[in-house]
Amino acid sequence: MKPAYQPKLLALVIAAALGVTACTPASNPSSNANQAAAKPATADEAKAFVAKASEEMAALLIEAQRADWIANTYITEDTEALSAEANEKMTETVVRMANEAARFNGIEVDADTRRQLDKLKLALTLAAPRDKAKTAELADIVAKLNAMYGKGKYTKADGTVMSLGEMSAVMASSRNYDEQLEMWKGWHDTAAPMKPLYIRQVELANEGAKELGYADTGALWRSKYDMDADAFAAELDKQWNQVKPLYQALHCHVRAKLSEKYGADKVPLDKPIPAHLLGNMWAQSWGNIYDLVAPENSDPGYDVTKLLAEKGYDELKMVKGAEGFFTSLGFAPLPETFWTRSQFVKPRDRDVVCHASAWDLDSKDDLRIKMCIERTGEEFAVIHHELGHNFYQRAYKNQPVFYQDSANDGFHEAIGDTIALSVTPKYLKQIGLLEQVPDESKDIGLLMKMALDKVAFLPFGLMVDQWRWQVFSGQVKPEQYNEAWWQLREKYQGVSAPVARSEADFDAAAKFHVPANTPYTRYFLAHILQFQFHKALCGIAKDDGPIHRCSIYGSKEAGTALNSMLEMGASKPWQDALQSLTGKPEMDSSAILDYFAPLKAYLDEQNKGRNCGW
Active site amino acids: 355-356, 385-386, 389, 413, 513, 523
- Pairing between strand 4-5 and 357-360? parallel
Backbone φ/ψ region at 344: left (φ over 0), alpha (ψ -120 to 50), beta: alpha
Structure-derived torsion over alpha carbons of residues 593, 614, 475, 23, reported in degrees to the nearest 10: -40
Provide the β-strand partners of residue 154. Answer: 162
Cβ neighbours of residue 589 closer than 8 Å, sequence gap 6 or more: 239, 242, 243, 528, 531, 532
> Where would I find the H helices in 151-271?
164-173, 177-188, 195-211, 217-222, 229-262
The DSSP secondary-structure symbol of 348 reads S
d(CA 551, CA 424): 6
Report the amino acid identity of residue 428. Answer: L
d(CA 49, CA 54): 8
55 CB burial (10 A radius; 0-12, 13-18, 19+): exposed
Spatial CA neighbour of 279 closest among 179, 189, 180: 180
Rg (CA), the chain: 24
- In angstroms, the Cα distances linking 148 to 279, 465, 504 are 24, 21, 17
d(CA 430, CA 546): 17
Provide the β-strand partners of residue 368. Answer: 359
- CA 273 from centroid of its chain's CA atoms: 25
d(CA 183, CA 578): 42
Spatial CA neighbour of 522 closest among 419, 407, 391: 407
Per-position b or e across 206-240, b if 16+ CB within 10 A of its CB: bbbbbbbebbbbbbbbbbbbbbebeebbebbeebb
Helix axes 521-540, 443-473, angle to 10 degrees: 140
SS3 content of the chain, % helix, strand, coil (to 5): 60, 5, 35
Three-class DSSP category at 161:
strand
Q: How many residues does the chain have?
A: 614
Provide the β-strand partners of residue 162. Answer: 154
